[in-house]
Amino acid sequence: MKTVNIYTDGACAGNQNEENVGGWGCVLEYNGNEKELCGGEVNTTNNRMELTALIEALSALKQSGLALHVFSDSAYLVNCFRQRWYKGWQKNGWKNSQKKPVENRELWEKLLGLLEGNEPHFFLVKGHQTLKDGGAKANAAALKRFKEHNDEELKLAAGGRGFTYKRFAQVVDYNNRCDALANVYINEHRAAEEPADPAGPESIE
């Protein structure tokens, strides 16, 4: 079975405000080949952007029957699949434990459809993490935390038992790259919204 590594991230500037702008980014990696995607929308939430990043990544796949290793810093996304929250939601007519409609239902349903026929494994990564040259002790501690947070999934995933520091450093690098991609749309939107200088450019005499 082919293994495709998927790295995702979502961001939202002004997440709790009525008017905000969000962005998402993802990288797909298979056998040394990479594909980067990014985008965004206004009046959204951070969670919607996290889900959209994975939806866009899965939509880019050309086949099914794949082992998918999904790396995300969103506990909302990772825990839903690892703890099978969606099973309870489906059983209860897409109502949560408080008997309220599940937020982002349409995105969750789309994700479930895209994952069907594949073997997904979800790994939780600490966001905005930086590994330091010469910081062997701190870096080793970061790897240990990653393994502790993903122990069961590493046991289940092919190759997970031999997860090395080199592989961990790659995951951190990809996660940070996805964060930068998630901010592309946000930065472009902000730049487009900035008012023009009424005085115009300074004249040169």
- pLDDT, residue 198, reads 52
Backbone angles phi, psi at 188, to 5 degrees: -65, -40
The identity of residue 122, as a single letter, is: F
Residue 8's region, left for phi above 0, alpha for psi from -120 to 50, else beta, is: beta
Domain chopping of the chain, boundaries? 3-193
pLDDT band for 71, please (50, 70, 90 cuts).
very high
CB atoms within 10 A of CB 158: 11
Per-residue pLDDT, 202: 46
Residue range 87-119, pLDDT digits in tens:
999 999 999 989 999 999 999 999 999 999 999
The Cβ of residue 193 has, within 10 Å, a number of other Cβ atoms equal to: 9
Q: Which CATH superfamily is domain 3-193 in?
A: Ribonuclease H-like superfamily/Ribonuclease H (3.30.420.10)
* Burial bucket for residue 18 (CB in 10 Å: 0-12, 13-18, 19+): exposed
**What is the model's pLDDT at position 17?**
66
**pLDDT(130) > 70:** yes
pLDDT at 196: 55
pLDDT computed for residue 193 by the predictor: 78
Examine the pLDDT at 185 and tell me if it is beyond 90.
Answer: yes
Using only the alpha carbons of the chain, give its radius of gyration: 19
Residue 110 pLDDT = 98
The full DSSP string for 81-137 is HHTTHHHHHHHTTSB-TTSSBPTTHHHHHHHHHHHTTSEEEEEE--TT----TT-HH
In this prediction, residue 204 has a pLDDT band, given cuts at 50, 70 and 90, of very low
For the chain, count helices (H), then strands (E): 7, 5
pLDDT tens by residue, 18-55: 689 999 999 999 998 999 999 999 999 999 999 999 99
pLDDT in tens, 146-179: 999 999 999 988 776 678 999 999 999 999 999 9
% residues pLDDT > 90 (the chain): 79
Helix (H) or strand (E) holding 177: helix 165-193
Chain centroid offset of residue 176 CA: 10
